[in-house]
Amino acid sequence: MPLRLRFCLSLLLMLPVAFAQKAPDPRTSPKATVIRPTALYLQGDTGSDKLSTVQPGREMAILERSGHWIKVYANTDQETVQQADQPVFTEHEPEHPISGWVQDPGVIAADTPNGAAVLFGVAITAEQAASEPHAAAGSALDARRLYRMVAVLFPDDARTPEAMWRTADIRWQLQKEDASTLPSAHEKESYLRQQPDETEMKRLERQFPGTKWASFAAYALIDNKLCGDWQGAEKCPEKEASYYAEFADKYPDSPKAAQALYEAAWRLACAGDMWSADNDDKRAAEDRRRSVETAAHLGTRYTTTDYAARGAGLIYKVQQSIPVYGSDRQ
């Protein structure tokens, strides 16, 4: 075979390899998301086959652009995020990422002007919608995914710490609600109950130490230490009071500190009533004394808060021997 012909054939054989090497890698491609349900088409044409719908907040990898069309690899976070976003105690078959084309309007990428504010604002709207009566199914998860993408696309934005907190909190609240419907929710010991996953809350504590976001995460984590049902055991409110008091000591400047002190004082007052019902006047008097001291500290340290006023009401009840727990026994 002539040398020139062999050279040409070699080039032809190498072309597919060259093109394959230039194909975008979704793992390293620019990331994006959408702020509304967005149709995913086989081609950059609304007349082509519709492959699926990309839901708000789903992560996409941008492979190429053509006018107002973007070729994407959608749901690239499916394996890592869907497991976290699905109901805690059920199993779902994982979906798989799909390559296709979406129209540009509604797509938010790292280079979108004012993109962080837009994404955060849409997430707030979705979160508020989720709290409305008869909220659309999945609106809370839409909000969670949108907040998450603020951190993914705009890690250095001032809104990112709050977005990460809201991401974690939405999941925490959904999992708490799921757990509360189970028979184990009434178990006294916390380890006998299904509990929200602590991973994201603990990550917040590590990533933003000393901030209010870390304190919010620490406060939420107390949930997993509480008794499901006291079942008449004084150790439950006493131990819970210690958790809240320790939080207030560690995070005295947290927006949650006043609430934590009130929760501690109220539980100590309850324990006092429980000891009194068990005819242990000495233990009752001790817990009531600690309750009044805690509530008094609350009133001094956080004077203008609603919890300070509630603490004053609690002090009055304790000092006037008005039962706080089991008031029907009065």
Question: Is residue 317 located within the same domain as residue 242?
Answer: yes
Q: Does a structural domain hold residue 90?
A: yes
pLDDT of residue 82: 45
Q: How many domains does the chain have?
A: 3
Assess if residue 15 is contained within a domain: no
Confidence of residue 19 (pLDDT cuts 50, 70, 90): very low
Give 74's strand partners: 60, 98
What's the pTM?
0.82
Is residue 94's pLDDT more than 90? Answer: no
Q: Residue 35 falls within a domain, yes or no?
A: yes
Same domain, 280 and 315: yes
Q: In the predicted model, what is the mean pLDDT of residues 43-55?
A: 93
Query: Beta strand 98-103 with 60-66: parallel, antiparallel or unpaired?
Result: unpaired
231-290 pLDDT, tens digit each: 899 999 999 999 999 999 999 999 999 999 999 999 999 999 999 999 999 999 999 999
One domain, residues 203 and 259: no
Whose tokens are 């990112």? That residue is 160
Q: Give me the CATH number covering residue 57.
A: 2.30.30.40
252 shares its domain with 222: no
Q: Which of 88, 109, 130 is the last residue of a domain?
A: 109
If asked whether residues 89 and 125 sit together in one domain, one would say no
Decide if 10 is inside a domain. no
CATH code of 213's domain: 1.25.40
How far from 10 is each of 13, 18, 75, 88, CA to CA, in Å? Answer: 5, 12, 39, 56
Q: Are residues 197 and 236 in the same domain?
A: no
Is the residue at 263 inside a domain?
Answer: yes
Is 61 found in the same domain as 83?
yes
Domain for residue 7, yes or no? no
Range ranked top by mean pLDDT from 20-34, 79-93, 190-204: 190-204
Both 222 and 234 in one domain: the answer is no
Which residue among 109, 126, 148 closes a domain? Answer: 109
pLDDT category of residue 4 using cuts at 50, 70 and 90: low
328 has a pLDDT exceeding 70 = no
Q: Which domain holds residue 219?
A: 114-226
Choosing from 67, 86, 109, the residue where a domain stops is 109
Instruction: Mark whether 134 and 40 lie in a shared domain.
Output: no
Which tens digits make up the pLDDT trace of 111-161? Answer: 999 999 999 999 999 999 998 888 887 899 999 999 999 999 999 999 999
